[in-house]
A and B are shown apart, each in its own frame.
Chain A
Amino acid sequence: MKSAPFEYLRADSIASACEALRREGDSAKIIAGGQSLVPIMAMRLVRPSLLVDINEIAALKFIAVERDAVRIGACTRQALVERDDALASRVPLLRQALAWVGHVQTRNRGTLGGSIVHADPCAELPLAAQVLGAKMVLRSSSGARTLAAEEFFTGPMVTATDSSECLEEVHWPVWSEPRTGCAFTEIANRHGDFAMVSAACQLALDGEGRCVRAAFGLGGVGQTPLAFPRLAARLLGTKLDEAVVKSVAQDAAAQTEPGSDLFATADYRRHLAGVLAARVIRAAQEKAGGGK
C-alpha cells in the first residue's frame, strides 16, 4: 500500500503546471486534493513518473458569482464550495450533492475539479455537472478550450481531457426562473461511500405550478453520469402529476446500463434508478414550491 517512486513538482502557476505536462507527456499526472489519486497510486493502479501538485496555485481557488453562471476554480476545496451561501442560492444543487460526498476530512482536502476530472460514474459532482450542463475550461500550454459536460465525460474514469491539459475552472449555469427547485439523493452501502445509484434533478415552475424547465440525471448506472434531456422535455408544460413523473422515471431507468457486483444486481440497480428518479423529480418540485 505504498506508491511506486515518482518525482514531484510543486507548480506555482497554471502556466508552470501546463509546461510540466507538455514536457512530460502521458507519464505526468496532476495532483489536486489527492483523495482519489493517492489511494489508486498506493494500490499501484497508477504509476506516474511525475506528480504536478497544483494545491499551491491561488489562481485555481475561487468562487466567482456572475449573472448567468458561477465560475469555480478547479482546485477549490469541496468544503468551501459546500459552505458558500452566495453559491448555494444560485446553484443549490452543488450543496445538495456535496452532502453525499465523502466525509468532513475528505471534503476539507478534496477539490471540486479533482472529483470532476476523476470522473467516477458513481460520484456526485460529475452527476451534478452532467445534469446542469456545466462547462469545463481546460488549459494547456497552447491555449484553453471549453467543453460541455456531455462532451467531457467519455467513459468510466475517462474524460476528453488531453494529457497536456489541466482543468482550470468549471462554469455552473444559474437558472433565472424565480420558482426553481432541485434535489439530490442516492443509495450507498454507507453514507459517504460512492453511490450504488444516485439521482439529481432541477426544475422550474410557473405561477400555476406548471413545469417550464427541467433537467435530471442518474449516476452509477452507466459508463458516465447520465442526463436525460429528451425525457426531461416531457415534463415541460405538465403539472408533474403522478402518471407523467412515473413514466419519465421508468423510461430513464430503462435507458440505464448498470452492472452487477457483490452488493447489488443490475436489475436491482435499474429498479433503484426508476425509484430515485421519480423521488428527485418530486422533491425538486416541492423545493420549487409546487405539488401538494
Chain B
Amino acid sequence: MSEKLYSISVEVNGVARSAHVPARLSLVDWLRDDLRLTGTHVGCEHGICGACSIMLDGEPVRSCLMYAVQADGHRVTTVEGLANPDGSMSVLQDSFCKCHAMQCGYCTPGMLIAAKGLLEANRHPSDTEIRAAIGGNLCRCTGYQQIVDAIHDAARRMASGAK
C-alpha cells in the first residue's frame, strides 16, 4: 500500500524544513515523529485539550487540527522555538518555573504557546484576558492559578525590559 506523497517546505523555528508527506499526516505528528520536535504534546487529537498548540505565522493554533501538507509555505513556531538564541530560557518560560506553573508538564508547551500569543498581542493583560487566552488549554494538575500568576509575572518582567 503506498499513499501519494506531497512535497512541503515549512519554516520551523526559523529553520527551513522540507519533506514528502502523505496528505493525512497531521502537523503535530510531522513535528514530533519526523522532525523529532517532541516538545509539542499530543493530548486528545481532536481539538479539545490544547496540548498541541503551536504558532502558525505568529498566531496560536492547534497542530492536531491541521494536516502537515497545509503548512506548506508557512511559518511554524513550537515550544522549542521559545528559548533565547543562546539556549537559555525566555522570561515566559522562566516565570513558569519560578511560579510553579506546572506539575506533570503535559499541558505546559501548549500553555506557553497560548501565553506567548497573548503577550505578543497584549503587553499588559488583565486576569480575565489571561484566563480567556488559556481557556482552550486543559491542565489537570495546577488548578490554573499558578499558570495565571506566571503569565502576570512574565508580563511584568517583560514590561521592565527583561528578555
Residues of A in contact with B (beta carbons under 8 Å apart):
1-8, 10, 31, 34-35, 38-39, 41-43, 51, 53, 55-56, 79, 102-106, 108-109, 191-192
In the bound complex, CA of A51 to CA of B68 (Å) = 13
Report 17 cross-chain contacts, Cβ distance below 8 Å, ordered by A residue.
Answer: A1-B45, A2-B24, A3-B24, A3-B26, A5-B23, A6-B23, A8-B69, A10-B69, A34-B67, A35-B47, A35-B62, A38-B65, A38-B66, A79-B59, A103-B136, A105-B50, A109-B62
Which residues of B1-48 are within 8 A (CB) of A? 3-4, 6, 22-24, 26, 29, 45-47
In the bound complex, CA of A56 to CA of B61 (Å) = 17
**B84 interfacial by beta-carbon distance below 8 Å:** no
In the complex, what residues of A have CB within 8 A of residue B99's CB?
none
Q: A8-B67, A42-B45, A55-B70 are in contact. Are A104 and B24 (CB under 8 A)?
A: no
B46 adjacent to A1 (CB under 8 Å) = yes
**B143 interfacial by beta-carbon distance below 8 Å:** no
In the bound complex, CA of A39 to CA of B66 (Å) = 10
**B117 interfacial by beta-carbon distance below 8 Å:** yes
A109 adjacent to B23 (CB under 8 Å) = no
In the bound complex, CA of A105 to CA of B73 (Å) = 20
Min C-beta distance of A250 to chain B, whole Å = 33
B46 adjacent to A43 (CB under 8 Å) = yes
Mark B94-117 against chain A: 1 for CB-CB distance below 8 A, else 0.
000000000000000000001001
In the complex, what residues of B have CB within 8 A of residue A6's CB?
23-24
**B77 interfacial by beta-carbon distance below 8 Å:** no
| Selected contact of A105 from candidates B26, B45, B62, B69, CB within 8 Å | B62
In the bound complex, CA of A100 to CA of B25 (Å) = 30
In the bound complex, CA of A56 to CA of B50 (Å) = 25
**B78 interfacial by beta-carbon distance below 8 Å:** no
Closest Cβ neighbor of B45 among chain A residues: A1
In the bound complex, CA of A4 to CA of B25 (Å) = 10
In the complex, what residues of B have CB within 8 A of residue A102's CB?
136
| Besides A106-B62, A108-B59, 18 other A-B contacts (C-beta < 8 A) | A2-B24, A4-B24, A5-B3, A5-B22, A10-B70, A34-B70, A51-B67, A55-B70, A103-B135, A103-B137, A105-B60, A105-B62, A105-B136, A106-B136, A108-B56, A108-B60, A109-B61, A192-B135
**B53 interfacial by beta-carbon distance below 8 Å:** yes
Residues of B in contact with A (beta carbons under 8 Å apart):
3-4, 6, 22-24, 26, 29, 45-47, 50, 53, 56, 59-62, 64-67, 69-70, 72-73, 114, 117-118, 132-133, 135-137
In the bound complex, CA of A192 to CA of B47 (Å) = 12
A104 adjacent to B135 (CB under 8 Å) = yes
In the complex, what residues of A have CB within 8 A of residue B73's CB?
56
In the bound complex, CA of A79 to CA of B3 (Å) = 35
A104 adjacent to B3 (CB under 8 Å) = no
For the complex of A and B, list the 6 residue pairs with the smallest distance between their C-beta atoms, beginning with the closest: A103-B136, A8-B23, A39-B46, A1-B45, A3-B24, A108-B59
In the bound complex, CA of A35 to CA of B22 (Å) = 20
In the bound complex, CA of A292 to CA of B104 (Å) = 51
B67 adjacent to A38 (CB under 8 Å) = yes
In the bound complex, CA of A4 to CA of B67 (Å) = 12
Min C-beta distance of B30 to chain A, whole Å = 12
Highest count of chain A CB atoms <10 Å: which of B72, B118, B135: B135
Min C-beta distance of A215 to chain B, whole Å = 28
In the bound complex, CA of A3 to CA of B67 (Å) = 10
In the bound complex, CA of A205 to CA of B89 (Å) = 56
In the complex, what residues of A have CB within 8 A of residue B66's CB?
34, 38, 109
In the complex, what residues of A have CB within 8 A of residue B22's CB?
5
B53 adjacent to A105 (CB under 8 Å) = yes
In the bound complex, CA of A215 to CA of B60 (Å) = 35
